[in-house]
A and B are shown apart, each in its own frame.
Chain A
Amino acid sequence: MSIQQPPDHGATTFESPVSSTGAATVSNGAQSKKQPPPEKPSDVRRRSHIILAFWLIVLCLGLPIWWRTTTIYRADLPVQEMLDWADGKACRPVFPLRISIQANALQEQEAQNLLRLTQHALDDLNDFSGHHLRLQLAPPAATENHDSESVLTIRLVPGDTTTAKFDPHEPMLDITYPPNAIPSPTSSSSSLATYVAGQLRSTFAEEQATISHLLSTNAIPSEHRPQGLSPDVSESLSKRTTRSVKYAPTYHLTFSLFTSGPLPSSWDIDGAINEYMKPVLDVLSPIHNFTIDTQVQLYAAPGVHSQVLNKEDLSSFINAAEWPLSPSIGGAPTINFIVFVGNQTIAAPSQGPGEGDDAPGSASHSWLIPQWGTVYLLSLPDDTTRLSSEALKQPLLTFTSHLLSLTGTPQSGSLPLRLSTLARIRSADLLLRASSTLGSLARLALALPSISIPSRVADGVSKTMHHLRLACETLGGPEGLAHARIAEAEAERAFFEKSMVGQLYFPDEHKIAVYMPLLGPVAVPLVMGLLNELKAWRKRRREAAEQGAGKKKE
Chain B
Amino acid sequence: MNNENFTPKEKDGAMKKRNLILVLALAAVALLLLFVGLSMRKPAARPPEAIGTARPVDAGEEIVAPSPAAVEAAKTPPSGTSEETAAPEPVGGVATPSPAAIEGENTDPTPRPTLYPATSYLRISTGRGVYAPIPLVEDGSFKLTQGEGIENVIHVGKDSFYMESSTCDNQDCVKQGEVTLDNIEERILFNMVICLPNQVTLELLTPEEAQTALEDMYRAQEAYEDEAALAAEDAYEAQ
Does chain A bind chain B? Answer: no
Which residues of B line the A interface, CB within 8 A?
none
